């Protein structure tokens, strides 16, 4: 019997030893990394560009971006269905996805630029530079 590592067939002989909960932790390695798109992060000074490989996005409204402190989260839905056809073999990611990237530094929420072209989402981020200006505090003389 040939075991298909892209399905759960590989774990069946071991089910009597370990529970399904144990094997569920490994499925991401055999089933397309948990439906997470591939990503790259590029840095130049105070700027970052994060790219995500997302083929099959029909509309940019199918993509959601969230930025908080030093985390970028991309989620959405990829639909590769062909009307009148039944899927019999799957290797390309489709369905809901979510990817969270830890960024090398905190970024500004108010200055994020994103574009999508030919299956590649590019997100341009800018370092959050804390305001180090000081404000004089007046002291009230209560004598």
Cβ neighbours of residue 3 under 8 Å, at least 6 residues apart? 9, 10
Site of tokens 């899927």: 87
Q: CA-CA distance, 76 to 11, in Å (whole number)?
A: 30
pLDDT tens, position by position, for the chain (143 residues)?
Answer: 444 444 556 666 665 565 555 555 554 454 445 578 999 999 999 999 999 999 888 889 999 999 999 999 999 998 888 889 998 988 887 889 999 999 999 999 999 999 999 999 999 999 998 877 767 777 777 77
> What is the rounded CA–CA span in Å between residue 114 and residue 23?
37
Block residue for tokens 């004089």: 136
The pLDDT value recorded for residue 61 is 92
pTM here? Answer: 0.67
- Residue 65 and residue 124: Cα distance in Å, rounded? 12
Domain 32-127 adopts which CATH fold?
Answer: Immunoglobulin-like (2.60.40)
DSSP class per residue in 19-41: -HHHHHTTHHHHTTGGGPPPEEE
Extents of the domains making up the chain: 1-31, 32-127
Kindly report the backbone phi and psi dihedral angles of residue 45, in degrees, each rounded to the nearest multiple of 5, phi listed first.
60, -115
Residue 141, SS3 per DSSP? coil
Q: What is the pLDDT of residue 23?
A: 52
Residue 8: what pLDDT? 58
């Amino acid at each position: 019997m040939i075991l298909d590592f892209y399905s759960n067939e590989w774990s069946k002989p071991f089910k009597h030893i370990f529970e399904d909960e144990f094997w569920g932790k490994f499925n991401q390695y055999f089933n397309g990394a948990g439906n997470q798109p591939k990503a790259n992060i590029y840095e130049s000074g105070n700027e970052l560009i994060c790219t995500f490989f997302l083929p099959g996005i029909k509309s940019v409204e199918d993509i959601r971006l969230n930025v908080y402190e030093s985390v970028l989260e991309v989620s959405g839905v990829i639909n590769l269905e062909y009307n009148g056809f039944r899927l019999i073999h799957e290797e390309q990611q489709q369905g809901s996805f979510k990817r969270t990237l830890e960024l090398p530094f905190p970024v500004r929420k108010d200055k994020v630029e994103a574009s999508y072209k030919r299956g590649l989402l590019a997100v341009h981020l800018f370092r959050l530079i804390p305001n180090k200006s000081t404000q004089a505090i007046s002291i009230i003389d209560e004598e």
